[in-house]
Amino acid sequence: MKTLTHYLSLHLRNCATALADLLAQPVATGLTVAVIGVALVLPASLHLLVQNGRVVVGGWESVRDFSVYLKIGTALENATAIADDLAAREIIDSVEVIPADDALEQFRSGFGVSELLDSMNSNPLPHTLVARPAEVATSAALTALEQEIRALPGVDQVRIDTEWVARLNAILDFLRRGVWIAAVMLVGAVIVTVGNTIRLDIQNRRDEIEICKLLGASNGFVRRPFLYIGLWYGVIGGIVALLLLGAGYLLLAPPVQRLTGLYGGGLELLGLDWVTLVAVLAAGILCGWGGAWSAVSRHLAAIEPK
C-alpha cells in the first residue's frame, strides 16, 4: 500500500511540476498551445460545417427518400405488407405508410381546395409509401429495387432519383474523407510540434538528465516529467481549440440567423455537442502525449553520463 501511495504521489508531483514549468514560460507555452489549438480547431470546424450544412439543406437524409404510389382501391393491409417487405431489406432504413385519407387531409390543408375535394364522391389519392434508403444503398441497388417494386401487384408508380442518390453519396463520401484527411494531417502537425518542443526541452535539460542517470535514475523516471509536459500541452491546446470553436459560434450565429430570417427561415447553427467536445479534448491529449513520447524515445537514449 505504501509503495502504491508513493507511486501515485510521485506521479502527482511530476504532473504538478510539469504544469508549473509551462506556466513559468508563458510566451513559449502560449505560442505552442496556440499552434496546437488552431491545428485541432480546423478539422473540428470542418466537421461542424458539414453538420450545419445538413441543417441548411433541410436534412440530407430526407433528400434520399423515394415514394411508392399504390393503385387506387388497394387495401391498406396490402400497403402495410409491402412496407414491411421493404423495411426488412438491408438497403432500406425505414418506410412510412401514408394512408389515402391522411394524404387527402394534408392536400386539403396545404392547398386550400376543400370545396373541390368535398364535391368528389371518392378519395382520388392512393396509399403512399415513403422509403428512406440506407447509406450503403448504391445507385445500381436502388435501380434494381425500383424494377422489383414496379412488378409488385397493386403498385402504380415509383418515384426515385437514383442519379441524385449517387451524387449525394459522392458528396457525403467526399466530405467525410475530407474531414478525416484534414484531421490526420493536422494531428500529425500537432505531434510534430509537441515533439519538437519536447526535444528542445530535453536538450536544455541535458546536464540535469546526465546527473540523474549518474545517480541511478532509470529512463522511466527521467521520461515521466516530459510525458506530463506533453500531456499538459495537449490538454491546454484542446481547451484553446474549444474556446476558438465557441468564439466562432458566437460570432457567426447572429448574422446567420438574420440572413435566414430574411428568407423566411429560422435556422440555428449547431454548436458543440458532447461528442465533439470529448473528441477534441481526447485528440489534444493523445497528440500531446504521443508527441512527447516520440521525442523522448528518440532523444533520451542518446543522453548518457560521460
Predicted confidence pLDDT, tens digits, the chain (306 residues): 657 776 778 778 888 888 888 888 888 888 889 989 888 888 888 877 777 766 655 455 556 788 899 988 888 888 899 989 888 888 888 899 988 878 767 666 655 555 555 556 667 778 899 988 887 777 788 888 888 888 888 888 888 766 666 676 677 778 778 888 888 888 888 888 888 888 888 888 777 777 777 777 677 777 788 888 989 999 999 999 999 988 888 887 777 777 666 655 555 666 677 888 888 899 889 888 888 888 887 777 666 666
Q: Under a CB-based contact definition with an 8 Å cutoff, are residues 285 and 185 in contact?
A: no
The span from the CA of 298 to the CA of 301, in Å, is 7
Q: What is the pLDDT of residue 126?
A: 85
Which is it for the CA torsion 252, 253, 255, 257, positive or negative?
positive
- Please list, residue by residue across 244-267, b when 16 or more beta carbons sit within 10 angstroms of its beta carbon and e when fewer do: bbeebbeeeeeebeeeeeeeeeeb
Q: What is the pLDDT of residue 139?
A: 75
- What residue spans in the chain does CATH classification 3.30.70.3040 cover? 61-168
Q: What amino acid is encoded at 64 in this protein?
A: R
Place of cell 450565429: 253
Q: Where are the beta strands (DSSP E) in 162-242?
A: none
Q: What is the pLDDT of residue 189?
A: 85
Three-state secondary structure call for residue 123: coil
- Which class for 15: exposed (0-12), middle (13-18), buried (19 or more C-beta within 10 A)? middle
Q: What is the pLDDT of residue 303?
A: 67
Q: Where are the beta strands (DSSP E) in the chain?
A: 66-70, 92-98, 128-133, 155-159
Q: Under a CB-based contact definition with an 8 Å cutoff, are residues 203 and 226 in contact?
A: no
Q: What is the pLDDT of residue 56?
A: 57
The span from the CA of 234 to the CA of 284, in Å, is 4
Does 61-168 carry CATH code 3.30.70.3040? yes
Closest CA to 190 of 14, 301, 41: 41
pTM: 0.63
The span from the CA of 48 to the CA of 179, in Å, is 10
How far apart, in Å, are the Cα atoms of 207 and each of 20, 98, 230, 271? 20, 78, 21, 48
The span from the CA of 190 to the CA of 38, in Å, is 9
In DSSP terms, 132 is beta-bridged to 94
